[in-house]
Chains A and B, each alone.
Chain A
Amino acid sequence: MHTIRRTFGLPLLMLVVFGVLDWFFPKMFDLYIQTLIIYCGINMILAVSLNLVNGFTGQFSIGHAGFMAVGAYISAFLSVSFPNWAGPFINLNFFLNTVIGGLFAAVAGYCVGLPSLRLKGDYLAIVTLGFGEIIRVLLLNVDAVGGARGLYGIPKYSTLFWTLTWVFICCFTIVRLMRSTHGRAFLAVREDEIAAEAVGIPTTRYKVIAFVISAFFAGIAGSIFAHFLSYLNPSIFTFLKSFDVVVMVVLGGMGSISGSCVAAILITLLPEALRPLQEITKIDFRMILYSLTLIVLMLTKPQGLFGSLEISDLWKKYVRRSASN
């Protein structure tokens, strides 16, 4: 009994909370706010999962959009071509399709992780970028998913409940992993590969594991995205999308899960917050300001918002400081 509570207590509680929120939510907020919240959730999954590779394991991947595309297209294809294959329950179908999308993305992650056995730093970065672009060009040429025209008519299954649930699963999994011997192995790879090998950490294995988990969740985010937007186009998944995610990770602080979440929300909302400015001036200044913000933040706060600390660490620090005063 005790074991079950320890293992599933928090997840079950969260499921209930998300269920209730999902019920209240449409009554409280308009469609615009709902859309923003779901986009925040998608970006949070992307940023937290990329943080596992870039922040914790110390590799440098800039091809996250490619994995997202795999998950999005596979799950959307299943939903469009085989509706209700797993029975009459829409949510069950959606859940399974999402997981399958994630698994395909994980396989893609494995294929990218393999070259990382030999490549380091910038070479690895450019290979991940290349993989992302190759996936995109392949999608352009597959007629079964619409090619350049895009894939239309994807059922709108994504709800607040599913988005929050997956954000939770993603963060929960990675937080728990990081508190285990496996998490410490990721960190050891980042800190010093040669020393890690010398104390018995199979570094290549852990690099590949990091890529696979990270790609899996990127695929999940892709599926939620596809079933929210209800159409897909390969041009959504260019390397600019990957850059976006990298920016979130660096902005939040490499190796900080809560940092990634906060940065994901900021980056999603910033262009929206700047919308009034655009309406006044009639010129689209938003992206210019976005890029300027990025440069200024890097010049003034090079460690990102949180460094490698979590919100909870900062809170403890704050409490300690106010106590000592």
Chain B
Amino acid sequence: MSDVLLQTKDVSIRFGGLVCVSKFNLTVTRGELIGLIGPNGAGKTTVFNMLTGVYTPTSGDIRFLGEGTEGIPPCELSKRGISRTFQNIRLFKQLSVLDNIRIAAHQHTSYTLPEAVILSNRMLLQEKHILEKAFELLKIFNLGERAYEVAGCLPYGQQRRLEILRALATDPQLVLLDEPAAGMNHKETQALMETIGFIRAKFGITILLIEHDMKLVMGICERILVLDHGITICEGDPKKVQSDPKVIEAYLGTSQD
């Protein structure tokens, strides 16, 4: 198996006349933790949307595990191993915590609709398996006691964690985290950093994350890409990025901290 998980080549997208992302190049090898940063409106989330198939790039080529992803719907990409969280939390708010996880495990079931009605052996077996797996995950994240609570009623920090958990429940190879620390205080961010490190160690997955919290990004990412106005202005390890004059210029005013 090749070690390259995801490769994009000159990916650009335009909305109307506005070029949102231009010539985005990224190669992700298995096991990496890459940070994607940049000022607001730089096109970071748009990159995620293209990688997960929500938007189709105007030009360029995205390959996941060596295969092109053009025209493949998001749900199919999720089955192939790309999973994500959202900037503004998108949980299934009215459903229970447990169901949020079980829905993400949908792709691990193969029983048909008639089987669901007659309760076939295969159906019961698979449901049991999903349930066990869901509780296992919930326990790891300390959400086991909350399994039957309504997801929308969880405190904010736990909602964020649940969303990451839901992304993990699809058994992904690559997880895209969109501002996982947004709205968290220092302590919560600290806990989140530990969680992310733990996930990597435990599941051996590759992570690409967008974040504004520089402490978090500089602290855990091995490689960082900086986007400004859709253009990749810098790429390298945290040290190199921090000292790059172009990055400092793009962040001017917010770079003091």
Contact = CB atoms under 8 A, between A and B. Distances in A.
B130 A181 contact: yes
Interface in B100-154: 102-107, 109, 111, 113, 116-121, 123, 126-127, 130
A184 B102 contact: yes
Contacts of A199: 78, 83, 103-104, 106, 166-167, 169-170
Interface string B171-204: 0000000000000000000000000000000000
A181 B125 CA distance: 12
Contact of A200 (B54, B79, B102, B126): B79
A188 interface: yes
Contacts of B126: 181
B95 A191 contact: yes
B108 to A, nearest CB: 9
Interface stretch (A26-34, A150-158, A170-178, A232-240): A170-178
B52 interface: yes
B117 A177 contact: yes
Nearest to B123: A180
A198 B118 contact: no
Contact of B99 (A3, A6, A187, A195): A187
Interface residues of A, number: 31
A126 B237 CA distance: 55
A83 interface: no
A176 B120 CA distance: 12
4 residue pairs, one from A and one from B, having the closest CB atoms = A180-B116, A191-B92, A200-B78, A197-B74
Given A184-B95, A197-B74, 16 more contacts: A6-B119, A176-B118, A181-B103, A181-B116, A184-B99, A191-B92, A195-B86, A196-B75, A198-B78, A198-B84, A198-B167, A199-B83, A199-B170, A200-B106, A201-B106, A209-B113
Interface of B: 52, 54, 73-76, 78-79, 83-84, 86, 90-95, 99, 102-107, 109, 111, 113, 116-121, 123, 126-127, 130, 166-167, 169-170
